[in-house]
Structure 1
Amino acid sequence: MQRALTVQAPAKINLSLRVTGRRPDGYHLLATWMQKVALYDTLELAVCSEGIHFHCAGAGIPDDRTNLVYRAAELFLQATQGRRGVPAAGIAIHLTKRIPVAAGLGGGSSDAAATLLAMSELFDCALTPDELAVLGLRLGADVPFFLADTPAAFATGVGELLRPVASLRGYSILLVNPGFPVSTRWVYQTFALTKKEDASNLANFQEGVVEEAVFGDSDAVMGPDTVLVNDLETVTRTRYPVIDRLKDELLRCGAVRAVMSGSGPTVFGLFDDHGKAEACRVACMPRFPDTYLVAPVEEK
């Protein structure tokens, strides 16, 4: 029986993100096009006799229950009591971070999903994809996407209702993080306040329904007329004008699209010319060390 496992957790970008409504419990409803990208955190997991032993070196990340990886391990052990094929009841996890924290790239959610998947294998639980998705949603709205065996998806609801689509092809993706964290909670709370008296953005949407104006009949193939928009930019760029400056710079460098990912502050540019993308990466790196030139994750 395998007792240790090393796994990689990819980042994601939101190619498009529309806020389509709000549930009575305060959670926002979304229609978003998500794509996994080849920027990875690494998790090393080993079964132990008892307890959760989590460590992340050098990233200033808490190693207690406030961390999503710890919470994912705790939730898994609680939910699989009596189902585990391994008698041990503990896990040791070492996380090596490469995805910037609080950056709109889903690093924490991806790490949590990787933890659930790895522990299901290590503890011989054979949880179904639906069972894993239920656990994942308790940790965060993006976790089901990272659990899904698809590189790209249209997501609705709070982000948990997934329609797999083809991965992006033919693009190099330049991620530029300006070097400061942004609270997702703050962005959504501020968005809600700014939209309280102006509900026009939300008026034509219903819970759980994909609005054709957002996704249309697209099979996720980028074309010259494809419109990418992130409603949350209106909040984040008001406090952080560097968002707009980065978008303009990426477009000047030759990106065919430049959009903020998630709640920010990372901005990404899609380049159909790898040479231009590399030149832009070289130009950005001295000012923004968290700059990465990556490829879309493709179908297996």
Structure 2
Amino acid sequence: MIIFPNAKINLGLRIIEKRPDGFHNLQSCFYPVGWNDVLEIIPAETFQFSSSGLPIPGDDSTNVTNNLCVRAYKLLNADFDLPPVHIHLHKVVPIGAGLGGGSADAAFALRVLNERFSLGLHVDALENYARQLGSDCAFFVQNKPVYCLEKGDVFEPIAIDLTGFHIMLVYPNLAISTAEAYARVRPHLPETPLRTHLLAPVETWRETVRNDFEDSLFPAYPVLAHIKQQLYEAGAIYASMSGSGSTLYGLFHAPVETPNQFSAYRVWKGRLQTVN
């Protein structure tokens, strides 16, 4: 079976406080976008994992145990004694980009294994398995826009539909680790919940919908601020960094030409729609 795990963007990201367990409570909205990896899972004599496309740190022929797809298989195998499979991941979505690519791969692997071996796991159970793999993994089980709280793994419905908006994502060939991003951020409780700003027209978001990581990462990596400004100059209605970086995205009412300044970067453009 071949599937296409998609990325996500953050519509706003407010870091509220550091938790006793070392994680942070946050407010954000996760929204699926159509930049995809390719994942194939087929029966095999013994368990195998292979990858192609972008190199994945730590995934070589002798050490793949930390790959999230492998961990997803092992997690279900511990409870269901699964038959062996060969998992092949063709990596397209950049790593360390704030797009949740690895989390999507893991969640889609859970979904495929559940279907392929008729495990009978419903949404809640799949999300609970996904939460053991990463804070944003559970989002990709249902893969629809949600308002996120706590570690980003507690979801509430939110009436946001960006269907028809055009989007440009720009990855400046700069991977920012989650640990580095959180070490720089200063948590604080916003005066107005992010949800309130998100429910206003998109045209108002430029002044109200913020990603708190920008305050600390833009001074450290000036290219990020430059890309955001260039997206606005290209006509974006709203532009922001996604997650803890380093991808920037812009929302547009119409298709847009890629600025020449982005020729050295990885750019993905598409039209937003709800992904299921």
TM-score (norm 2): 0.90
Alignment partner of 1:55 out of 39, 50, 53: 50
- The residue identity in structure 2 corresponding to 1:225 is T
- The residue identity in structure 2 corresponding to 1:156 is L
Q: Residue 284 of structure 1: CA displacement?
A: 4.3
Per the alignment, in what secondary structure is the counterpart of residue 193 of structure 2? helix
Per the alignment, in what secondary structure is the counterpart of residue 8 of structure 2? strand
Matched, 1:270 2:251: yes
TM-score (norm 1): 0.84
Q: Residue 242 of structure 1: CA displacement?
A: 0.3
Alignment partner of 1:257 out of 232, 238, 242: 238
Distance between the aligned counterparts of 2:181 and 2:79, measured in 1? 32
Distance between the aligned counterparts of 1:100 and 1:47, measured in 2? 28
Bigger mean CA offset, 58-67 vs 125-134: 58-67
Q: Residue 160 of structure 1: CA displacement?
A: 1.0
Identity across aligned pairs (percent)? Answer: 32
Per the alignment, in what secondary structure is the counterpart of residue 70 of structure 2? helix
8 Å Cα contact 1:35/1:297 also seen in 2: no
State how 1:190-201 maps to structure 2 within 5 Å. Answer: 190-191=184-185, 195=186, 201=188
8 Å Cα contact 2:6/2:101 also seen in 1: yes
Distance between the aligned counterparts of 1:36 and 1:110, measured in 2? 10
Per the alignment, in what secondary structure is the counterpart of residue 55 of structure 1? strand
Per the alignment, in what secondary structure is the counterpart of residue 110 of structure 2? helix
Q: Residue 212 of structure 1: CA displacement?
A: 5.4
Q: Which has the larger radius of gyration?
A: 1
CA separation of 1:287/1:59 partners in 2, compared to 1, >3 Å: closer, same or farther? closer
Per the alignment, in what secondary structure is the counterpart of residue 298 of structure 1? coil
Alignment partner of 2:216 out of 219, 235, 239: 235
8 Å Cα contact 1:35/1:296 also seen in 2: no
Counterpart in 2 of 1:291? 267
Distance between the aligned counterparts of 1:80 and 1:284, measured in 2? 51
State how 1:197-208 maps to structure 2 within 5 Å. Answer: 201-202=188-189
Q: CA RMSD in A?
A: 1.9
Alignment partner of 2:123 out of 125, 129, 142: 129
Q: Which consecutive segments of 4 or more residues in structure 1 shift more than 4 A?
A: none
Distance between the aligned counterparts of 1:112 and 1:91, measured in 2? 15
Structure 1 unpaired stretches of 5+? 82-87, 205-210
Counterpart in 2 of 1:20? 16
> After superposition, what is the alpha-carbon deviation per residue over 1:50-97, rounded to whole angstroms, capped at 9, x for unaligned?
43x11111422215112111111111211324xxxxxx5212111111
Distance between the aligned counterparts of 1:28 and 1:223, measured in 2? 27
CA separation of 1:258/1:149 partners in 2, compared to 1, >3 Å: closer, same or farther? closer
Distance between the aligned counterparts of 1:12 and 1:149, measured in 2? 9
Distance between the aligned counterparts of 1:65 and 1:42, measured in 2? 19
Q: Residue 282 of structure 1: CA displacement?
A: 5.0
Distance between the aligned counterparts of 2:13 and 2:181, measured in 1? 13
